[in-house]
A and B are shown apart, each in its own frame.
Chain A
Amino acid sequence: MLAPGASLPQRSQAGQTVLELAGVDAFYGKAQILFDLSLTVGQGEVVTVIGANGAGKSTTLNVIIGKVKPAAGEVRLDGRPVNDASVEAIVSKGVTCVPQRRRIFSALTVRENLDVGGYVRRHDKAALKAGLEECYELFPVLAKKANSLGGVLSGGEQQMLAIARGLMAGPRVLLLDEPSMGLSPKLTVEMFEDIRRIAQTGRTIVIVEQNAYAALSVADYGYVLENGRVSLSGPAEELIEDDYVRQTYLGA
């Protein structure tokens, strides 16, 4: 068993590091949310960040996507610092965030939601067409409902649409903020199956989740976030077996 704060043996990184947070402090107003947070994500890896409500999981994603600027430390993409980059610049560099609670544009059709998702690639018609085909192949129900308004889809379909909309920007790194939130257990299982299929396309995926078991079971590597600090990290299969993680996050 590993005590909180201890680190599991470092992973052997097959791929190059794509994304890196090094010693990041982040604030919302005067409240400090992240404390000296460091994490690395390798090319093609699925990395999960688990933690309780308010541990700083969403803030971590907001720092990566450029919405929250770190007060200290560095965010690196392909080894280059991107602390000062705008959200638009980060998305253009191939990082997309699928927001919590799906946030579908409810009065836009499914197809229009996907079109808007492809905004940063709007001048590359061929890429958009290929992206649309991929989305429809991954989620055939979206092709069937292309002309329905986003707001009339079921919760599960909306989550598919949210992920597909994220994929339309052609990301190398896909950030998923609590994809299982508000979904039934059955839909959650299907959702993580979908995520596994997306991972097989070679994309790098970072999942932030309260549903620790589901998230760790699709991940290569995991981080446990507590009060804005990394308390534990390691290969996902080891974290699932870890006594502290099991007791605290897996309800075992």
Chain B
Amino acid sequence: MLGQVIASGAAMGAIYALVALGYVFVWNTMGIINFAAGEFITFSAYIFVGTLITSLALPFPFALALIAILMAAMGAAFSRLVFSRLQRQRALVAIIATVGFGIFLKEMAHIIYGPEPLMYDGPFGMRTLDVAGILISYQQLLILAVVTLIMAAQYLVFRYTMLGKVMRAVAMDRETAALMGIPVERVLAGTFAYSSVLAALAGLLLAPLFFVTVDMGTMVGLKGFVAMIIGGFGSIPGAILGGLLLGILENIASFTISSAYKDAIAFALLLVFLAFLPQGILPEKVVDRA
């Protein structure tokens, strides 16, 4: 039974990891937490299920590509129009503005798609696979596969391509990166676009597990934030580890204690970490000897 609990916890944790990574990228490059991240998830789930799959009846891979492009464009536009201006503001103003934008997205979804929850079975329906007595749904396998693929691709891009090096350089020292002739504003918009794509993926992967409602992303967004803190604020491997750990631990705890306390358990875990290991499990290393 424990294997079952861990398997489904890992799938949920993979989603938290995606969301946590979105926070990390935006934090590292722009120094702001995007508190609208949860609503990016909601909004993209609505567009994906409500418009691309239901209204337009697009095949899954095509709809997937389209939602990624749409959310990247929305993220880039939001970054250039709103986020870049928030950088010169006090932190509180930036926080309120992103929370406000989140409410705007949520209400837009409400206006466009109405109050009824949307249902989506996912590309594989409700089928499950029996692995040594552990039942794993195809949707959970898809989540793990997509997230693993994203992490691997992201690692390769960051490590070996000019784009990845430039993004890391901009995250570390924007002013010096600009001196190298790097178009910093465009890199920032691109980073934000990528974090929006991560949110979109989280939304469409989650849709078959929950109903699509205006609140579906809020709790996932918050838990992604918790995952980032547990893993180590601003750390990429930390976000992945924190996400998986949170997903698995909250599932184990809700199985052994009570599922009614599932969300409370996640935030209790946050409190424990803030009290005893505030830097997280894999904190960002700061190296500069000279």
Which chain B residue shows the least CB distance to A183? B290
B70 at the interface (CB under 8 A from A): no
Residue from B177, B286, B287 in contact with A116 in the complex, judged by beta carbons closer than 8 Å: B177
A105-B169, A105-B176, A107-B172 known; A151 vs B183 contact (CB < 8 Å): no
Contacting pair B290 A154 (CB below 8 A): yes
Contacting pair A65 B165 (CB below 8 A): no
Which chain A residue shows the least CB distance to B285? A107
Contacting pair B168 A108 (CB below 8 A): yes
Q: How many residues of A contact B (CB 8 A)?
A: 35
Interface string of B149-172 (1 = CB under 8 A from A): 000000000000010011011001
Give the docked Cα–Cα distance between A146 and B22 (Å): 31
Smallest beta-carbon distance A12→chain B, Å: 33
Contacting pair A106 B169 (CB below 8 A): no
Residue from B166, B285, B286, B287 in contact with A119 in the complex, judged by beta carbons closer than 8 Å: B166
Smallest beta-carbon distance A120→chain B, Å: 4
Residue from A87, A103, A119, A152 in contact with B289 in the complex, judged by beta carbons closer than 8 Å: A152
Residue from A92, A103, A112, A153 in contact with B173 in the complex, judged by beta carbons closer than 8 Å: A103
Give the docked Cα–Cα distance between A193 and B129 (Å): 69
A234 at the interface (CB under 8 A from B): no
Question: Across the interface, which residues of B come within 8 angstroms of A112, CB to CB?
Answer: 165, 168
Interface string of B176-201 (1 = CB under 8 A from A): 11111111000000000000000000
B130 at the interface (CB under 8 A from A): no
Smallest beta-carbon distance A125→chain B, Å: 11
A222 at the interface (CB under 8 A from B): no
Give the docked Cα–Cα distance between A122 and B165 (Å): 12
Contacting pair A97 B179 (CB below 8 A): yes
A106-B172, A107-B172, A116-B166 known; A153 vs B180 contact (CB < 8 Å): no
Give the docked Cα–Cα distance between A115 and B180 (Å): 10
A106-B172, A108-B165, A116-B166 known; A88 vs B183 contact (CB < 8 Å): yes
Give the docked Cα–Cα distance between A154 and B287 (Å): 12
Residue from A88, A91, A151, A155 in contact with B287 in the complex, judged by beta carbons closer than 8 Å: A151
Contacting pair A165 B162 (CB below 8 A): no
A99 at the interface (CB under 8 A from B): yes
Smallest beta-carbon distance B264→chain A, Å: 37
Contacting pair B176 A103 (CB below 8 A): yes
Contacting pair A115 B172 (CB below 8 A): no
B116 at the interface (CB under 8 A from A): no
Contacting pair A88 B288 (CB below 8 A): no
Give the docked Cα–Cα distance between A88 and B181 (Å): 4
A169 at the interface (CB under 8 A from B): yes
Question: Across the interface, which residues of B come within 8 angstroms of A153, CB to CB?
Answer: 289-290
A117 at the interface (CB under 8 A from B): yes
Question: Across the interface, which residues of B come within 8 angstroms of A182, CB to CB?
Answer: 290
Spell out B's residues near A (CB within 8 Å): 162, 165-166, 168-169, 172-173, 175-183, 285-290
Please provide the 5 A-B residue pairs with the shortest distance between their CB atoms, ordered closest to farther.
Answer: A91-B181, A151-B287, A155-B290, A120-B181, A103-B176
Q: A119-B180, A120-B181 are in contact. List 15 more A-B contacts (CB 8 A).
A: A87-B181, A91-B179, A96-B180, A103-B179, A105-B169, A106-B287, A107-B286, A116-B177, A116-B182, A119-B181, A151-B289, A151-B290, A152-B287, A153-B290, A169-B181
Q: List 5 A-B contacts (CB under 8 A).
A: A96-B179, A103-B176, A108-B168, A108-B172, A158-B290
